[in-house]
Copies of this chain bind each other. A is one copy, B any other.
Amino acid sequence: MEIGISTFVETTPDVKTGEVISHAQRIREVVEEIVLADRVGLDVFGVGEHHRIDYAASSPAVILAAAASRTEKIRLTSAVTVLSSADPVRVFQDFATVDAISNGRAEIMAGRGSFIESFPLFGYDLNDYDELFEEKLELLLKIVASEKVNWKGGHRPAIQNLGVYPRPVQDPLPVWIGSGGNSESVVRAGILGLPLVLAIIGGRPLQFAALVKLYKRAAAHAGHDLSKLTVASHSHGFIDEDTETAANKFFPSTQYVMNTLGRERGWGSYTRSSFDDARSIEGALYVGDPQTVAEKIIYLRKNVGITRFMLHVPVGTMPHEEVMGAIELLGKEVAPLVREEIARWESEGVES
């Protein structure tokens, strides 16, 4: 079981002071968060790509590179790369360079984008949302598979037998498919035999078990080795010494972000009671003391088949020290509890 962090490098106003941190400061803080995650033994850190004023990471590879040269073991991934509006050649080059710097620790999580700001910015049409992703993923996988590339599509100039450099340390450079829970994406990932990352940020995580089954069925149908498939979840959460403190610290900025996005997307308003409900063992929020969060991760592993868990923290702007505290607890207390329990299953042959 891999355990790590993902973040969107938000720069929303501080819910207490109203102060807005600069993009630059938040980026530097995130580099420190990745360095700490490595020191406390976490397995992976993911940085999401956005193109709006309240998010500072439009170039995840550049941020990950800054951390790559200061870390030893942690894997470094986008979470996600909005592949639909990117050039797969540049994406590969950027992450192959991160892979070089980190000596084989880079990954790409490719997604269609849950935010759509990048489409007008890079001149793409939202009507081509799915076709763009399909085509660009095909090109990215060709570049990953072979140094010399031949490719032709409708949304990017063709490539005739040209090399793409640098070549990475890992062969192949890992490419994950990021999905919000859409069955088509899950089937696509399965057919391609690619690792899958699910954004489990609402509803009941148990509902995702059906999607994981669908993914594995598609993969089996396409002839892939099921024992090599990995499924990650990306879920909001926060850890503190005790559960009430964790909840009280995490709620305000989460509410701010959920209501901001909710206004844009027509969601209902986000209340403390829906927040508290999602903290139950059946809910999608991983908020609490280390024991509570460890139990929920184990539950997710047992019932949904997740083999990598990424805690998304913070949601909105929280004080950097509080985020650092949660990362430290995840690495030093939660991860050992989870790993110990899974080692116990494995020694007892319980795991499916």
Contact = CB atoms under 8 A, between A and B. Distances in A.
Contacts of A53: 147, 163, 165
A307 interface: no
Instruction: Name, among A24, A51, A104, the residue most crowded by chain B CB atoms within 10 Å (CB to CB).
Output: A24
A100 B28 contact: yes
A24 B62 contact: no
A136 B49 CA distance: 23
Interface string A54-74: 011111011101111110000
Instruction: Name, among A25, A104, A120, A147, the residue most crowded by chain B CB atoms within 10 Å (CB to CB).
Output: A120
B165 A55 contact: yes
A31 to B, nearest CB: 6
Interface in A145-174: 147, 156-160, 162-169
A199 to B, nearest CB: 22
Instruction: Name, among A69, A98, A104, A167, the residue most crowded by chain B CB atoms within 10 Å (CB to CB).
Output: A69
Interface stretch (A86-94, A220-228, A275-283): A86-94
B66 A101 contact: yes
A123 interface: yes
Nearest to A34: B69
Contacts of A350: none
Given A31-B101, A58-B97, A121 B162 contact: yes
A61 B66 CA distance: 10
A33 interface: no
Contacts of A162: 117, 120-121
Interface in A18-33: 22-25, 27-28, 31
A43 interface: no
Interface in A109-147: 117, 120-124, 147
A52 interface: yes
24 contacts: A22-B167, A22-B169, A23-B100, A23-B166, A24-B169, A31-B101, A56-B100, A57-B166, A58-B165, A59-B93, A62-B65, A62-B98, A63-B101, A65-B66, A66-B66, A66-B68, A117-B162, A120-B159, A120-B162, A121-B164, A122-B157, A123-B157, A123-B158, A123-B159
